[in-house]
Amino acid sequence: MSIKIKAAGVTKVFASRTGPVYAVRNFNLAAEEGEFVCIVGPSGCGKSTFLRILGGLIAPSSGEVTLAPGGAQVPLQNMVFQEYAIFPWKTVVDNIAFGLEMRGVQKAERQEIALDWIRKVGLAGFANSYPYQLSGGMKQRVSIARAFANNPEILLMDEPLGALDAQTRVVLQEELVHLWEGARKTIIYVTHSIEEAVLLGDRVVLMTAHPGTNKSEFAVPFERPRQFALTSTPEFGQLAYAIWKDLEGEVKQAMEQQL
Amino acid sequence: MKHRPQFNVETRDRLLPIGFPILLLLLWEIAVRLTWLDARFFPAPSTIITALVNLIVKGELLGKLWLLPGFISTGDWAGVLKVFAEGHLWISLYRIFAGFVLGAVPGIALGTLMGMNRTIRIALEPVFSALYVLPKIAILPLVMLVLGIGEVSKIAIVGIAAFFLVLFNTMAGVRDIEVIYLEAGRNYGANRWQLFRHVILPSASPFIFVGLRLSLGTALIVIIAAEFVAARYGLGYLVWFSWQTLLTENMFAGLIVIMVLGTLFTSGLHALERRLVPWQREERRMPMDASEMQRQSAKS
Ligand SMILES: Nc1ncnc2c1ncn2[C@@H]1O[C@H](COP(=O)(O)OP(=O)(O)OP(=O)(O)O)[C@@H](O)[C@H]1O
Ligand SMILES: [Mg+2]
């Protein structure tokens, strides 16, 4: 296995009226090719900022980020945004085909790929709807499908299931596990849910409260392929609880910061 | 609360917008016939309609259309053009649309550029803002001085009016884009042109349409004013000349045509916007009035 993503000493400082704000501070992360890494941390600790740095949308103030291209004819990385960021002026199918269109894939081919993904995320019948006609959870699925349809080597996913109801969430978690076990992309997956991180990830990386840096890491030893039934085992509960105990103090600190 | 039959309210709502104007026109007609209104200033609606029909029949409003077959069969295209150039309606429409297109297209282009590029914006904005606030009619003499009193100056004045309105609205629209859409565009590999074509332009288009709507309205004002002072054909000329010669029924007929034109422009642009900007919620919620609320609560 080779290292696909390496972030060393990543720090991001934003200028604000009250002085500099550290969004992330000296954060380190390495992910192997095909690894599913979950990042969990209290709200405002800098997870989205870190993902934006990985995605090349903002530059770090200091530190270094390397994504190793695999040389295949596919994009290196794509993001699933916390705010969905699907285009209100494009239909569902055109949104999902967006990356393919930018890469110059012919219309017939990209339609076919997009329609396939529409079915996989359970949006059949909404291909020609505009985002304003969709619920929050449906928009989020469009944004997930847009990333998968573009078939990148690395997926950077920022709370991709955050806006879903608990039941749909379970269905899509299983679907995600299934997709990933089939395609073995390198995934950095930000989530608020410890259970989700344990169910999906090979490894859970915890961040401290704002300004976020490395808190600790947990390997997730469970066999694949995984199913939702895993969440009802004692081992699963024990690991999730251990992670929560480790994170609890940070979450409380983050809540106090916000008061 | 007592339940009144629903259909009464709905038929009332449908009849009122047609019925009330008809009532007003009827009152107007009666008032003139009973000489409560001075027919020299306010000719009866029937007189105005007759005048409008006469303007068409005599070939003033739409040109001498009956000459067209002869010109076309002899291949006399200059003659064909002349027929239309002598119809008040066509020549005004021509000036409006030529000026509108010549102003709006560079307005969109430069507005986008100014929205995207800080340097260009900072350099150009003060100049354009200063020019923008000048009432366009005020520079009509200057435009005629420079471009003469022919068609060019009339088209130019409409173009100038449209240019600034479209420019500033486009710029506002481009600057209003949410950063997240630009980020998504870039993350999915859009180059500069693709970013413009797939993200910036569609995102700004509701603003651009506001600019287009405003400038079509302004174009109508400006062209009528220009035709008042410097034209031998056109709706503005028709109104002005009829006033000068005290043919008030012709003046009113001209006003009606202008009114219809303005209404068609507005609804035409609305239709175009619905086609080109289909992603906006179609039914914008109208403010409810008291009777509407009563009806809603009665239903539930
Ligand atoms: N553009 C910016 N300018 C100034 N401060 C910013 C900016 N973006 C983020 N921040 C600050 O950086 C910190 C981290 O923000 P970030 O969005 O990365 O948090 P997060 O971990 O994703 O939070 P959440 O879990 O709520 O999504 C916050 O304190 C935020 O206020
Ligand atoms: Mg976030």
Out of A43, A45, A53, mutate this one to test ligand 1's pocket (max ligand atoms within 8 Å of CB): namely A45
Is the CB of B183 less than 8 angstroms away from the CB of A131?
no
Q: From the CA of A99, how many Å to the nearest CA of chain B?
A: 5
What residue numbers bound the domain in which A233 lies? 3-76+154-257
> Looking at the predicted structure, is the pLDDT value of residue B164 above 90?
yes
Chain B stretch 155-214, residues whose beta carbon is closer than 8 A to a beta carbon of chain A:
180-181, 183-184, 186-191, 194, 198-199, 202-203, 205
Confidence at residue B50, expressed as pLDDT on a 0 to 100 scale: 94
CATH of the domain at A176: 3.40.50.300
Q: Which atom of ligand 1 is nearest to the CA of A42?
A: 25
Instruction: Pick from A49, A98, A134 the residue to mutate for testing the B interface (most B CBs within 10 Å).
Output: A98
Residue B188 in any domain: the answer is: yes
Into how many domains does chain A fold? 2
Question: A15 and A103: one domain?
Answer: no
For range B172-179, the mean pLDDT? 94
What is the rounded distance in angstroms from the CA atom of residue B61 to the CA atom of residue B91?
A: 10
Residue B41 in any domain: the answer is: no
Residue B21 in any domain: the answer is: no
CATH of the domain at B233: 1.10.3720.10
CB A105 within 8 A of CB A73: no
For range A107-121, the mean pLDDT? 94
**Is A74 an 8 Å CB contact of chain B?**
no
- Tens-place pLDDT, residues A187-230: 999 999 999 999 999 999 999 998 889 999 999 999 988 888 99
Nearest to A81 among B184, B198, B202 (CB): B184
Is the CB of B279 less than 8 angstroms away from the CB of A146?
no
Angle at A142 between CA A167 and CA A161, to 5 degrees: 35
In this prediction the pTM is 0.83
Confidence at residue A81, expressed as pLDDT on a 0 to 100 scale: 95
Question: A130 and A225: one domain?
Answer: no
Question: A212 and A158: one domain?
Answer: yes
The residue contributing the CA closest to ligand 1 atom 8 is A49
- Tens-place pLDDT, residues B130-153: 988 888 888 888 888 999 888 899
- Tens-place pLDDT, residues A218-228: 999 999 888 88
Q: Which of A151, A180, A205 is the last residue of a domain?
A: A151
Question: A65 and A170: one domain?
Answer: yes
What residue numbers bound the domain in which B130 lies? 87-277
Out of A48, A205, A257, mutate this one to test ligand 1's pocket (max ligand atoms within 8 Å of CB): namely A48
Question: A10 and A103: one domain?
Answer: no
Residue B227 in any domain: the answer is: yes
Say yes or no: CB of residue A82 within 6 Å of ligand 1.
yes
The residue contributing the CA closest to ligand 1 atom 2 is A14
- Tens-place pLDDT, residues B220-250: 999 999 999 888 899 999 999 999 998 999 9
Question: A160 and A238: one domain?
Answer: yes
